[in-house]
Structure 1
């Protein structure tokens, strides 16, 4: 067979054949792969996306097939586009067809535990019993061990709640004598994937709905989407001063939150949320000047007592300070001294610093006109201005 028979009429010199030989040598040397094996991890380009099947480049002359459902998110929508790069593993190469699965995908399966270990594919197992340090798990008729620290992404004190339940695991150790599995590692991989999708969809200031998952002394954790949680700090739960999250929310409650910030801290995604800012018109300070003009007497509750005064809550989210210096010399000063947290108290608005969100309070009536004091006599006089006025009066005797 001639070179013309191989390359066609356009080949009229030996140079093209030499180029082909160079390319073949390059592929044999590793520049271009000629085959892949089960378990190979590949980063390939998505070449086409079909209704049922999609194709990904494998770095070999043959493209790999991946089920389109492997490319879908939790909303059953394809989150990739043609040209995107994706990490996949080779499931099989039977009959010349290369079957692929997205790395870490739950629907990627294999009948061989050894292949699942090599390809880092999830396997389904049932927790059979709790033992010292962890749990025994039945996977395809074989007994595996899951350390207690690897059964969940959160701290677990009571492992009995997992016994009898079925979960997906990753095999972290595999030999003839021992099979060790981790559910936590799989959850972490899924969490990273969910968080990545969340970051692409949402930006700071977005208003979202979520569910309270757990409460800590510093705030409440809210699940925004599957695998994605954010924290509402104690100070962001309400405009009013809050001492514990239980005062405002409860586990399982659906809440509306504002996305304040998304940042990565020590390799983990940190999502900061606010409940009080979710309502754009909810800041009670916006109504302070009209609702509490200077001189107004209002009823409030003692929120906190300090050596220098009383913090008094006069409306949800509005707290002012009644300095001790304003009641110390007052005729009713002792009643203010005896006040404690939760007590009712009447106060007067003395000053508002709107920009600083501060209100100075006073004792009711203390701001009234006391200009008469300026007319008191100098020290040593026994009558004062009233005595002077009486001097000019003529008293007529009774008949």
Structure 2
């Protein structure tokens, strides 16, 4: 409650009405013989160029008496504002409250803001990323939190970055809780590493391990993806405790077996590389990621004890397709059939040559007989 205007003392609180706004001061009627004076420096805790930006004619103000000397009464508006502001700021600080403030000045090292007092946002606490030029921030409203408050030192440090990080953390928690293994989501490749790619899937990053990039072996992540690529990925697992998301890119791509029955049919001859030898046969890669089995009984047209007797890993072979099953991802191959077909062809060729030779001999004998008859 304001004290009586007739009991003016330094530090007293008075109320008055603005009667005149000059270039460097404001005159206020506080019910005394002379009007009170608010110097421009006592109008606000922030720098003031024009008093009209702070007060208007006829406006009623609550003020502090700063000095009483002869007929001159010096008043302060900023002292009243400061006391009120410190109380409000302390409450906001204690409650970890977020609020909006306006940037008044851009200074070396950060931003000066109006919080009823002169508040400061260091450059490192403005954004989550580096800002080279802060000139666009003047008169801009920012959502902030108080990170340091010290009335004795007249220090008010605020952070816009803390608000953003808190929002991102909250959003991340919501996304993590909503994700389930098997979900397919869209994302943007943020970072490439030797072991995989980090993909932003709406505010949180998940890892696509190099083994989950393609259905075939990948030597370098950059052979498949580039930073900035927009891709679809499948969620493999979500670790809420450690904020980790494992993703797969290859699971959203057509597999090497997709459409295999259109490309490879029963009876086709195919070339391939022997990848593995097992006691019951050999696995042969005939396309990237597609292996067929040559059963031991189909390796040679003679009895063999082990595949190693005929084949070795890395060897290129030609085989005949016996069957193709896309659903089961199985292809049966035969090397023996190729050999048998070759032998059959050689026999047929021999028979054709023999038949042709017999015809030629018959013609010669017939010609001689005709000559003899003559």
Which TM-score tier does this pair reach, normalised by the shorter chain?
0.3 to 0.5
TM-score by length of 1: 0.40
Quick check: which one's helix share is greater? 2
State TM-score, norm by structure 2.
0.43
Q: Which protein is bigger by CA-based radius of gyration?
A: 2
Q: Which has the higher contact order (CA 8 A, sep 6+)?
A: 2
